[in-house]
């Protein structure tokens, strides 16, 4: 069964400022719930472009993520390659100009590898994602 997560926030920062933070994995430990970042493999266009593989560590968990879509100042998307007992995990972060700032919409879909565990993962990841969205909004606003 496909699980969905949906989190939103607004920031006074521009879509370009928010998008720059999403594109720079080294900033994620500053505003997210991850502890460390490492770029495992650059994308074909260099750096953290589409196809890049980024590693984020939190405690004993190492999440490997691949950047799958970038629309400058509008969308940043990644897929989880490993690190959690999930499959078909994709997160899309959409940025919409609004009220002189940016509406952030972080939405994720996934399936649990272990039958019956989907709702448990969804509840935990919903809280984590809400923390990411709020942290991103706050950090972007402080930086602007």
Which backbone phi and psi does 42 adopt, to 5 degrees? -70, 155
Distances (CA, A) of 40 to 43, 56, 108: 10, 10, 23
Average pLDDT, the chain: 97
Residue-wise pLDDT tens digits, 18-57: 999 999 999 999 999 999 999 999 999 999 999 999 999 9
pLDDT of residue 143: 87
Q: Taking 90 as the threshold, does the pLDDT of residue 144 lie above it?
A: no
Give 19's contacts (C-beta < 8 A, 6+ positions apart): 72, 73, 74, 76, 95
Residue-wise pLDDT tens digits, 110-133: 999 999 999 999 999 999 999 999
pLDDT of residue 43: 98
């Amino acid at each position: 069964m496909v699980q969905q997560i949906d989190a939103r926030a607004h920031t006074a920062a521009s879509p370009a400022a928010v998008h720059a933070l999403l594109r720079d994995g080294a900033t994620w430990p500053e505003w997210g719930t991850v502890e460390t970042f490492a770029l495992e493999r650059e994308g074909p266009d260099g750096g953290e472009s589409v196809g890049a593989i980024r590693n984020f560590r939190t405690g004993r968990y190492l999440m490997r993520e691949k950047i799958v879509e970038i629309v400058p100042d509008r969308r940043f998307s990644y897929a989880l390659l490993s690190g959690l007992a999930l499959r078909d995990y994709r997160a899309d972060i959409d940025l919409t100009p609004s009220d002189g700032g940016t509406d952030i919409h972080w939405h994720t879909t996934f399936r649990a590898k272990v039958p019956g565990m989907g709702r448990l993962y969804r509840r935990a990841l919903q809280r984590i994602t809400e923390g990411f969205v709020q942290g991103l909004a706050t950090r972007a606003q402080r930086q602007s």
